[in-house]
Structure 1
Amino acid sequence: MLDGQHEALTQKAVEKALEGDMVALRLCLDRLAPPRKDSPISIALPVVRNAADAVEASSAVLAAVAAGEVTPDEAGRVMALLTAHRSIIEIGDLENRIKALEEKA
């Protein structure tokens, strides 16, 4: 029924929004600039280059939760990022070790 009418409907919604129709304006803005689902947080973390750095960073995240600087949910998302980053580092380290062993053989 609405096939092929996308452009016309979009144009009409924009026209209505520009005329001051608040429902149309909200519709347009929700599509152009949807509300963020989360907001940035700030935690001072060390640069993570190895597993020891990841342990230090996770301690900083826990300290931020204990100090009330971030919520446990926010900390959980940061910890998931740290865990993924640590895994990437460990894979790179394993690749380097395997390569070194192969070169010795």
Structure 2
Amino acid sequence: MPKEEGQFEQGRSGNPAGRPKGARNRATAALEKILDGDAEAILNKAVEMAKDGDPVAMRLCLDRLIPVRRDRPITFTLPPIDKPADLTRATHALMQGVAAGEITPSEAAELSKLVDAHVNAIKTADLAERLARIEEGGLL
């Protein structure tokens, strides 16, 4: 398929640096401009409606006062992971934790990612150590 006029090369962005930190999109900037000066009155009205029992206003106020928690700390003991072979013990412990109701399946999935990252770190450190020993021995 021929390259169309004005298209960027594949894998190249028109703005490699991306959007500057803190930059607002046009819709947000326009909304802020509209609300400028009225924000306090609107907030007071929402609180008043919530106090009068409006369920939507109540939810809006509560969501701002007590935001939904994204995740929570969990207490779960994993066996030590000192070498890649220990991974199976760790995943077995995670499966047992889910089966026993100690952790949720999504918590186990997130912990599995941490375990995997830890095992990869062990593998990388082991490889670097082995390479250093080979270089010291003059085999390279």
TM-score by length of 2: 0.53
Q: CA RMSD in A?
A: 3.0
Please give the per-residue CA displacement for 1:30-79, whole angstroms capped at 9, x wherever unaligned.
77974421112222112222112222111101111121221111100000
2:116 is the alignment partner of 1:83: yes
Count residues with an aligned counterpart. 104
Q: Distance in 2 between matches of 1:31 and 1:101?
A: 59
Q: Secondary structure at the match of 1:91?
A: helix
- The 1:71/1:102 distance shift into structure 2, 3 A limit, reads same
Q: Which residue of the partner structure matches residue 47 of structure 1?
A: 80
Q: Which residue of the partner structure matches residue 67 of structure 1?
A: 100
Q: Which residue of the partner structure matches residue 99 of structure 1?
A: 132
Q: Secondary structure at the match of 2:114?
A: helix
Q: Secondary structure at the match of 2:117?
A: helix
Larger radius of gyration: 2
Q: Distance in 2 between matches of 1:74 and 1:36?
A: 14
Q: Distance in 2 between matches of 1:32 and 1:46?
A: 39
Structure with the bigger percentage of helix: 1
Question: Structure 1: where are the runs of 5+ without partners?
Answer: 4-21
Higher relative contact order (CA 8 A, sep 6+): 1
Q: Distance in 2 between matches of 1:66 and 1:30?
A: 33
Question: Structure 2: where are the runs of 5+ without partners?
Answer: 1-29, 33-49, 51-59
Q: Distance in 2 between matches of 1:31 and 1:99?
A: 54
